[in-house]
Amino acid sequence: MVRIRIQNLGNRSIETENTERKVIELIHENGIDWMHACGKKGRCTTCKMHILAGQEHLSPETPEELNFRTLGRLLPDERLACQANILQGELILRVPETSKLSHLTYTE
């Protein structure tokens, strides 16, 4: 069992046994809207997550993420939801300011 908790979406939690799906797929499959301007192809960074805890539980960074990190578009505590899988444990994250959707209400 792995768990994803989105702090600034009212601590919405997702629990699953499925570690084969990308984090963004798990979020979408649980009815939570999440920005993904390039269609989840690792080309835009709009799906980025601000990781508060559990970064060590994620799959290794993809070449796309490493490229954005080199360009300074992905900070050390950020990952792309369309590139990362959660492999074990709990992931606690926030939606970054730049990736908030106008029709959703975010909490603190």
Least distance in angstroms from the C-beta of 1 to ligand FES: 25
Contacts (CB under 6 A) with ligand FES, residues 6-65: 36-38, 40-47
Q: Which is nearer to ligand FES, 12 or 43 (CB)?
A: 43
CB of residue 77 to ligand FES, shortest distance in Å: 17
User: In Å, how far from its chain's centre is CA 68?
Assistant: 15
- By CB atoms closer than 10 A (0-12, 13-18, 19+), residue 84 is buried
Given a contact cutoff of 8 angstroms between Cβ atoms, the answer to whether 95 and 106 are in contact is yes
Q: Which residues bind ligand FES (CB under 6 A)?
A: 36-38, 40-47, 80, 82
